[in-house]
Amino acid sequence: MPYNRVSHRKKILVLFFGLTAVFVLLFVRLVYLMVWQADHYAEQATKLHERERSIKAARGRILDRNGEVLADNKTVCTISVIHNQIEDPEEVVRVLSRELSLPEETVRKRVEKYSAMERVKSNVDKEVGDRIREYDLPGVKVDEDYKRFYPYGELASKVLGFTGGDNQGILGLEVTYDEQLQGNDGMILTVTDAAGIEVERMGERRIEPVAGNDLHISLDRNIQSYATQLAYQAMETKEAEAVSILVMNPQNGEIYAMVNVPEFDLNDPFVLPEGTDPALGAKEQQDLLNNIWRNGCINDTYEPGSTFKIVTAAAGLESGVVTPDSTFSCPGYIIVDDRKIRCHKTSGHGSEDFVHATMNSCNPVFITVGLRLGVERYYEYFEKFGLKKKTGVDLPGEAGTIMHKMEDMGNVELATVSFGQSFQITPIQLLTTASSIINGGNRITPHFGIESIDPAGNVVEIYSYPVTQGIVSEETSATMREMLEMVVKEGGGKNGQVPGYRIGGKTATSQTLPRGTGRYIASFVGFAPADDPQVIALAIVTNPQGVYYGGQVSAPIIRQLFENILPYLGIEEYNQ
């Protein structure tokens, strides 16, 4: 075939122009990347060689109603190593092992691990961190951090709660308000070369952390401290298993104190009690800790006993099935269907009006009131008073009421509920319902949170809580206050009297479940002043030894509490 010079030349020209076009496109692309996209790729290159180290933000403090700090921060250090930057591994292992009190083998594993950064130990005391920093060991980083610190140790431990190693809330208010208390972590950015060695001339960039918001709460450290002292005193003298004391403003639901002894040390919450079997497995140990951390005032339910007669009386008065002047006869028992239910006074109280029946805590009378109401109407009041719902207290893990279904209630069940047995509620539920009955009929929400304030001192949020008005009338509420004042003045609550003050209240002695074990719960709810309640308190003593009646065990606790805190709260003595 003859050689075609023209065809060959055309192919060369096509190839030439094609390559030229490709070259032009590549040149344009290169110019675009080097000029218009230069900043973007410079930033990407920097990021590729930047190493990040977190700077923990200070967690917001928790302060009581008077501004006293209950939860604070303590400066600690985090010690880390960067493998590629270490020049003398043996020296690093030796120093860190000695200063951090860690086995050399443990430190060596971290030093020899190929990683961008390996944490050796966190929550190191600042003094130790400063000493390590002074060695100036290449590849060893000492970053300041924060650890939660509780100035008063075990005070209000089950209310405040504590945080974990990551500074996140684990228990109590630390969990509920975790989002507000947490700040925004900062960052240290250092530039490294391809080998991971820091480029000293590039220095470092810092993104500063932002501290969390402070939380102001209604708890009063002084009241909490005194209530805790009384609780431990009662626990010791009565050889009780546990003692709980709740103190609240019945008008708005602000909680002044919530005590559950024994408490635990907030600065060392994972310590097991002395004498714990060292052979316990991890699950058993965790179960034991969970039990130690339980807040009995909100996490546990119990049969309230005669303190619940406050509810039956209010429902009876509100519905009109009973008046203060209604008369009854107590022979020491009452027959309900096929059951004989005894009064605590087996010889009977004889003839008495409703006020004296309340003063005497007479079971047959309250059963009669319950039966007059009937299952359906009693259940309606139970729900109207808010007893079927949780209180909404701003603590995690609140338990709900354990109550018969209405369709499963007969006269016997109604009778036992009427004087506070065969169902269970939490202490916070009892105190909230009693508060709502004596404060004019407004169902309040118990709470601790008042407001959160940012690091600059600005109010970020003022917390508000639901109020349900009219669960009883003002008239019924006033009558209940008068009757409960008589209980303390001349009835079973005499040991709750405080000279110079008008006190109202109700005692209770209930059995723990299962019945027949000889274990009792003694309790007393008291409020002052009786005509205009500004403070209400509940004391519960679990399984006291010897005398176990609420009027003799728990009422004196509230008396001593009120003797101390009523003047402190500025509540004036009563002038007759």
Tens-digit pLDDT profile for residues 418-433: 999 999 999 999 999 9
Residue 395's closest CA among 298, 462, 296?
298
Do residues 17 and 126 both lie within one domain?
Answer: no
Domain boundary among 153, 181, 214: 214
Backbone phi, then psi, for 257, in 5-degree steps? -155, 145
Residues 25 and 104 in one domain: no
- Helices 555-568 and 221-237 pack at an angle, to 10 degrees, of 160
Same structural domain for residues 59 and 29?
no
pLDDT higher than threshold 50 for residue 7:
yes
CA distance 211 to 453: 11
Helix axes 427-438, 474-490, angle to 10 degrees: 110
Dihedral, CA of residue 343, residue 349, residue 351 and residue 353, to nearest 10:
-80
Please report whether residue 447 resides in a domain.
yes
Residue 307 and residue 436 in one domain: yes
Q: Are residues 27 and 62 in the same domain?
A: no
Reported as a pLDDT band with limits 50, 70 and 90, residue 48 is very low
Question: Which residues, in sequence order, are CB contacts of 201 under 8 Å at separation 6+?
Answer: none
Residue 353: helix, strand or coil by DSSP? strand
Of residues 194 and 462, which shows the higher confidence score? 462
CATH of the domain at 435: 3.40.710.10
306 is catalytic: yes
Is 0.95 surpassed by the pTM of this model?
A: no
Each residue's pLDDT tens digit, 228-239: 999 999 999 999
- Both 27 and 87 in one domain: the answer is no
Instruction: Specify whether 398 is located in the same domain as 538.
Output: yes
Dist CA 483 CA 506 (whole Å): 10
CATH of the domain at 89: 3.90.1310.10
- Report whether 153 contacts 262 (CB < 8 A): no
Task: For 119, list phi and psi in degrees, rounded to 5.
Answer: -75, 130
Looking at the fold, whether 347 and 199 belong to one and the same domain comes out as no
Cis before 278 (ω within 30): no
> Is 395 in contact with 172 (CB distance < 8 Å)?
yes
Total structural domains in the chain? 3
17 and 124 share one domain:
no
Catalytic residue among 244, 306, 418, 477: 306
What span, in angstroms and rounded, lies between the C-alpha atoms of 460 and 449? Answer: 13
Least confident of 188-197, 284-293, 383-392: 188-197
User: Do both 513 and 376 map to the same domain?
Assistant: yes
Q: What is the pLDDT of residues 487-526, one digit of tens each?
A: 999 999 999 999 999 999 999 998 887 777 789 999 999 9
Domain holding 322, by residue range, is 255-263+295-568
Question: Is residue 186's pLDDT more than 90?
Answer: no
Q: Are residues 15 and 76 in the same domain?
A: no
Is the pLDDT at 47 greater than 60? The verdict is no
Q: pLDDT per residue over 233-288, tens digit each?
A: 999 999 999 999 999 999 999 999 999 999 999 999 999 888 888 888 889 999 99
Six token digits for residue 259:
């005590």
Whether residues 516 and 449 fall in one domain: yes
Q: Confirm whether 112 is domain-assigned.
A: yes
